Amino acid sequence: MSAALRLRGVEAVVLDIEGTTTPLSFVHDVLFPYARAHLDAFVGDPANDEVVAGVSVRLEQERAAEVDPTAPQWYASTAEKRRRSVISYAVWLMARDRKSPALKTLQGHIWAEGYRRGALQGVVYDDVPQALERWHSAGITLAIYSSGSVQAQQLIFSTTAAGDLTKYFSHYFDTAVGPKQSSDSYAHIATALGHAPSRILFVSDVGEELAAARLAGLQVVLAVRSDQSTSREPGADQIIRTFADLE
């Protein structure tokens, strides 16, 4: 089904992470459980008070706008109750894989400790480093767009077995630019990159993200990695199974 696709007229490539540059299993079986396991200790550590206070304000705002009645109550009458609220709402969001910007910031800080301690190392598919080198050498602007925080993105790419791959990327976008299923987000990204949308290629494993990017005028390619099911393939998209397919 996939064949080599030529990057004709493409001046910038924007890459999703989970399921595109990086196996789903690394995110779901390593990163997410790590964040869950270290959440209580991170929130309770006075060294993290400033980070937790900032995240707490944002989580409380998100909780106030929450429409799902099963979300835990938010209590904030004491510092300890506020900490408990941060933990219980973060756990609830994580169980649903909600792409909450505040949760993603919190996870990024927890993972940062894990990378620092050597408990975590970034993972990318084997074909990724070579493709980044090839595209970068060809003068193509390279960027990441992921629901994970910019901090989390840079940690993954700076600690891979193939070395520090952040040298290839000039831009990182997270949900501060907007949700990945909104076409406005891709319009903002195009403006930030300084390239016409039609000269930008977005690669992702999620059809809804590609549909939003296409609506904003970007070129799109679906990544269907060998370790993934093909159930999310929308019929009309161009498909790659490895970055070697994108020449």
Q: How far apart are CA 116 and CA 155, in angstroms?
A: 10
User: Does residue 26 interact with ligand L4RZE5RM by CB under 6 A?
Assistant: no
Q: How far apart are CA 203 and CA 136, in angstroms?
A: 16
Q: Closest separation between CB of residue 20 and Mg ion, Å?
A: 5
The encoded tokens of residue 59 equal 């989580």
Q: Residues near 241 by Cβ (< 8 Å), separated by ≥ 6?
A: 2, 223, 224, 225, 226
At 225, phi and psi to the nearest 5? -75, 155
The answer for 118, left when phi > 0, alpha when psi is -120 to 50, beta otherwise, is left
If the CB atoms of residues 137 and 226 are measured against ligand L4RZE5RM, the closer one turns out to be: 226
Q: Closest separation between CB of residue 153 and ligand L4RZE5RM, Å?
A: 4
CB 238 within 8 A of CB 222: yes
If the CB atoms of residues 102 and 152 are measured against ligand L4RZE5RM, the closer one turns out to be: 152
Q: Closest separation between CB of residue 177 and Mg ion, Å?
A: 16
Interacting positions 92-151 with ligand L4RZE5RM (CB under 6 A): 99, 104, 146-148
If the CB atoms of residues 16 and 174 are measured against Mg ion, the closer one turns out to be: 16
Q: Closest separation between CB of residue 148 and ligand L4RZE5RM, Å?
A: 2
User: Does residue 27 interact with ligand L4RZE5RM by CB under 6 A?
Assistant: yes
Q: How is residue 139 annotated by DSSP?
A: T
Q: Closest separation between CB of residue 15 and Mg ion, Å?
A: 9
Q: How far apart are CA 109 and CA 58, in angstroms?
A: 15
The encoded tokens of residue 74 equal 């938010």
Q: Which stretch binds ligand L4RZE5RM (CB under 6 A): 16-24, 85-93, 128-136, 212-220?
A: 16-24
Write out the residues near ligand L4RZE5RM by the rule CB under 6 A: 16-18, 27, 31, 99, 104, 146-148, 152-153, 156, 180
